[in-house]
Structures are given as structure tokens and as C-alpha cells.
Amino acid sequence: MYKLVSFILLCISFNASANLILNGDFEDKQIKRKWQYLNADKVNGWQGERIEVWHGLFGLKPYSGKQHIELNSHKKDNEYAIYQTFNSQAGQSYDLSFAYAARTRKNEQFLVEVFSGQNLVMSQLINDHAYREWSVFTDNFVATDSQTTLKFTGITPKGSVGNLLDDIQVNALNITAPQGLANAVDAPATIGLLLLAGGLLVMRHKRAASTK
């Protein structure tokens, strides 16, 4: 049974489309200093609060490329939030992933939400940051509208320090079995094993990643 499941995992076509998030690694505008905060409308693809872009500040390497951001970008008492809206298809499954790290040791937390039209289809509090080490969050959601919004909101700490983000991606998922696989085993077993294999592929919530 184990060998058969492994074979199916190898044979299944697990396809993801191009990233639907524009400038998800914050590389479009290369800053000339170690850090710089910009109005969101100056950062391609994003809206909301000011965005603080880092370029090697404190010697911390980005997870991807040469730059990443700090969500808590400038001093104020309210929460910090940035968001991006992208085209989607109702009923389509999507994979969301991003890298995150803590700037401090002060129990940093932020909220990630996905709104498809008026419907909240994903909400997750991220509170397990590693101090200046990148981790990767991965989960999936199903869109219910032709427009979907991904939003990040800083929760703690208050103030202009905390919650580093990089390599934000949303990809449409397409899981299909190759022709002829159904003939290898009887139909009920095939269906059950495909469901198991698919489940193993999508249950990738909060996988730690080593610093790049």
C-alpha cells in the first residue's frame, strides 16, 4: 500500500499557475539604502499603510531576492495593514504561501486574511515567528468570487517594529492523475488513494524553512 501511494504521489500532476500576487517579493523598486519606508501606492501591486522595505538591514538576508518588508512600518498606535486584490475564479482552489520572520523577541503576531468578494475564506493568526529566521506558511483556499483580496494586518507589537514578510505567492491549483493510472488498480482503490495523495500534498500548513 505504501509503495502504491508513493507511486501515485510521483505520478500525480500537481500544477500551479504563475503567481497571482504582483511584486510579492518586493523587488520591483530597488531602494538605495538599507531600508526605506514608502507610501503603499509607491510599491507596485500593494495598497494600505506605508511599507518599509529592507535591503540587507542588520545583515538579515531576504528569503527571496534582495529585499523584503517589515509590516510594522511607521509609528502609530493603530494596527498596520497592507493588501492586494487579484482576479480569481469562483470554485477554484488556490495555494497561498509566504515567508515570515520576527525582528524582535517580543511575541510578534500578524493576521493574514483572504476575502473573496464579500466572503472571508481564510483567516490565520501568525504567532510562531522565529527571531530573524525565516519560516514559511502554506495553506489553500477556495475562491467564491471573481475578485479576491489578500490582507496582512500587524497585531503585536504596537509601534514601528516587527513582522517581516517576503515571497508572497498565490497560485491556482490543478491536481490531475495521468492517463492509465486508473487502470493500474480497481476504481474504488484509485479514488481513495488519489484522495489520500491529494490530502498529503495540500496539508502543508506552516512548514519551517531554513534561511536562504
Q: pLDDT, tens digit, for every residue of 44-66?
A: 999 987 888 988 788 789 999 99
The pLDDT assigned to 123 comes to 97
The pLDDT assigned to 1 comes to 53
The pLDDT assigned to 56 comes to 77
Name the residue among 80, 63, 22 with its Cα closest to residue 167: 63
- The Cα 86–Cα 177 span in angstroms is 28
The pLDDT assigned to 15 comes to 53
Instruction: Please report, for residues 6, 33, 204, the alpha-carbon distance to residue 52 in angstroms, rounded to integers and kept in the order given.
Output: 44, 12, 29
Beta-carbon count within 10 A of 25 CB? 22
Q: β-strands 207-208, 135-142: how paired?
A: antiparallel
| pLDDT < 70 positions in the chain | 1-17, 74-79, 105, 157-162, 175-212
| Residue 150 near residue 22, CB atoms below 8 Å | no
The pLDDT assigned to 201 comes to 46
CATH code of 2-208, in short, is 2.60.120.260
Burial of 7 (0-12, 13-18, 19+ CB in 10 A): middle
What helix, strand, coil percent values describe the chain, rounded to 5?
15, 40, 40
The pLDDT assigned to 52 comes to 87
The pLDDT assigned to 163 comes to 85
The pLDDT assigned to 2 comes to 45
The pLDDT assigned to 25 comes to 94
pTM for the model stands at 0.74
Q: Where are the alpha helices (DSSP H) in the chain?
A: 2-11, 181-184, 187-202
Q: Which residues pair with 101 in a beta bridge?
A: 164
